[in-house]
Amino acid sequence: MNFTLKIWRQRDAHSKGEFKEYKVTDISSDTSFLEMLDILNNDLVHKGEEPVAFDHDCREGICGMCSLHIDGHAHGPSQAVTTCQIYMRQFKDGATITIEPWRSAAFPVIRDLVVNRNAYDQILQAGGYVSVRTNSVPDGNAIPIPQADAEESMDAAACVGCGACAATCKNGSAMLFVAARVSSLAKLPQGRVEGARRAKAMVAKMDELGFGNCTNTGACQAECPKGISIAHIARLNREFLCAKLKD
Amino acid sequence: MGCFLTNSSLGRKLVMSISGCFLVLFLLFHMAMNVVALISGEAYNMICGFLGANWYALVGTAVLALGVLVHFVYAFILTYQNRKARGNVRYAVTVTEKGVDWASKNMLVLGVIVILGLALHMTHFWSKMMLVELMGEHTNGLGYSPTDGAALIQYTFSQWYNVVLYLVWFAALWLHLNHGVWSMLQTVGWANDTWLPRIKCIAKLVSGVIFLGFAAVVVVFFIKSNCCCC
């Protein structure tokens, strides 16, 4: 298969970026999208040009490192998968593919397609954890948790923190990410203890970092590679408002 | 608390939600009142008389104006912050994501149409009814009594361009409420995976009833005015 790639190139955070076109030829239909970019970079290095910088790590959809806005979609045209899980057979032979970095004021471009997603780490540091005493391993059944709660918590915990939600949202809102983290802990007895403090601290940090206001478009849910539901945003709203009313 | 309602994104959304809820309740009341005009002009005029230039109607109007103002001002603040959060460089390629309503992404545009329609409506009715009473006059510029709302409806909707303008206004309102009503419930946390489809259904129902109620009055009075058989 042959493709024309329209890729955003930007030397560093302070430089002005622009789109550049590249041709990739004889690509196997079973090549993954990131492998196709590896092939392009190999060609560029052989020609003495700068390779395209892009984020990647596990390449099996669990680390949340890969990003890329491909033909208007975060993580490409497929539903509920990360960029590393899409294959070139999903594109038409001869197609022009536009590849952009995440666009959000809170995710500044570092180079080419790589953005700084440290803002999500800062939100997590503000409260996305459970304080526990270190000791011997607790008994597995010491705290009974209803199956439905455990399932819901695990659904929220599937969030890999890739940033697709904020990158997709027309408001640049990180609500789905914060909601997933708050919700996954709020549904468990261990997480309830710090529930109110967590919701307030994480929302305050999200606002401080310049993310936008959620207007419930649902675009984040549609583009989330882990299919996180916006119902978790309702839970975050509940947790936050109840915590504030108790102040 | 004051800080939370202005400084926090969720607080600002709560203000939008509560002011929006108040406006929806008013719209339901206004629509029900208008539908009375379809049944009996006299009954409608009785309601107009009850809601004349007295203290409770004036307080109600002032509170309503405040609700509209708060909703409108917060909408602009939120939109400004959201545009800033999106960054200076926009995507070269954009698509409509699966399952995302057009209205949900264009609430400000729809809101501006609703406000413009409201201004037109105030010119057509409020300025010829309550304002005339407040000025101490007994007839408005058209020669009708300020409590003769039925005659004013008849006159306004006998003109086709008013019918078109009002229907466009109601359509914008319908789209705005279609997203706004369920969004309002989601913002106060009244949703989960089971209730999310239900509140979307409630929103469709509420917005549909409001649209049909208002539109029916306009269309029926236009037909009555222009059809020699009616």
Residue in A with minimal Cα distance to B108: A215
pLDDT bin (cut points 50, 70, 90) of residue A140 is confident
Are B186 and A69 within 8 A, CB to CB?
no
Q: What angle is formed at CA A163 by the lines to CA A158 and CA A167, rounded to 5 degrees?
A: 135
Task: Look at residue B51 in the predicted model and tell me its pLDDT.
Answer: 84
- Distance, in Å, from the CA atom of A200 to the CA atom of B152, rounded to the nearest integer, reads 52
Residue in B with minimal Cα distance to A70: B93
What 3-state class would DSSP assign to A115? strand
Are A221 and B99 within 8 A, CB to CB?
yes
Task: Look at residue A137 in the predicted model and tell me its pLDDT.
Answer: 81
- Distance, in Å, from the CA atom of B218 to the CA atom of A57, rounded to the nearest integer, reads 62
What 3-state class would DSSP assign to B56? helix
Positions of chain B with pLDDT lower than 50, given as ranges:
none
Structure tokens at A13: 């955070």
Task: Look at residue A59 in the predicted model and tell me its pLDDT.
Answer: 95
Q: Chain A to chain B, count of Cβ pairs less than 8 Å apart?
A: 143
Q: The tokens 């000025």 sit on which residue?
A: B135
- Distance, in Å, from the CA atom of B102 to the CA atom of A167, rounded to the nearest integer, reads 18
Mean pLDDT over each residue of chain A, to the nearest integer: 95
Tell me whether residue B58 is exposed, middle or buried, using C-beta atoms within 10 angstroms of its C-beta: 0 to 12, 13 to 18, 19 or more: middle
Q: In DSSP terms, which residues pair with B205 in a beta bridge?
A: none
Among candidate residues B220, B50, B215, the one with its CA nearest the CA of residue B149? B50
**A 209-228 residues with CB < 8 A to B:** 210-219, 221-223
Average pLDDT over residues A132-157: 88
pLDDT tens digit sequence for B121-175: 999 999 998 888 888 888 888 888 888 999 999 999 999 999 999 999 999 999 9
Are B186 and A234 within 8 A, CB to CB?
yes
Average pLDDT over residues A115-129: 97
H helices within chain B, ranges in order? 2-7, 9-39, 41-50, 55-86, 102-105, 107-124, 130-134, 149-156, 160-187, 195-226
**B 62-91 residues with CB < 8 A to A:** 78, 81-82, 84-91
DSSP state of A222: H
**A 123-162 residues with CB < 8 A to B:** none
Q: Is the separation of the CB atoms in A195 and A186 below 8 Å?
A: yes
Task: Look at residue A162 in the predicted model and tell me its pLDDT.
Answer: 97
Are A222 and B193 within 8 A, CB to CB?
no
Indicate whether A42 pLDDT > 80.
yes
Task: Look at residue B226 in the predicted model and tell me its pLDDT.
Answer: 84
Among candidate residues A100, A111, A99, A110, the one with its CA nearest the CA of residue A36? A99
pTM of the model: 0.93
Average pLDDT over residues A175-196: 95
Q: Which of B16, B18, B91 should one mutate to test binding to chain A, selecting the residue with the greatest count of A CBs within 10 A?
A: B91
Among candidate residues B168, B178, B164, the one with its CA nearest the CA of residue B208? B178
Task: Look at residue B2 in the predicted model and tell me its pLDDT.
Answer: 55
Are A212 and B188 within 8 A, CB to CB?
no
DSSP state of A109: E
How far does Cα B107 stand from its chain's mean position?
13
Average pLDDT over residues A29-57: 97
Which secondary structure element, helix H or strand E, spans residue A41, and what is its range? helix A33-46
Q: Is the separation of the CB atoms in B17 and B187 below 8 Å?
A: yes
Would you call B99 an interface residue with chain A, using a CB distance cutoff of 8 Å? yes
Task: Look at residue B54 in the predicted model and tell me its pLDDT.
Answer: 83
Among candidate residues A55, A51, A96, A104, the one with its CA nearest the CA of residue A75? A55
Q: Which of A100, A154, A217 should one mutate to test binding to chain B, selecting the residue with the greatest count of B CBs within 10 A?
A: A217
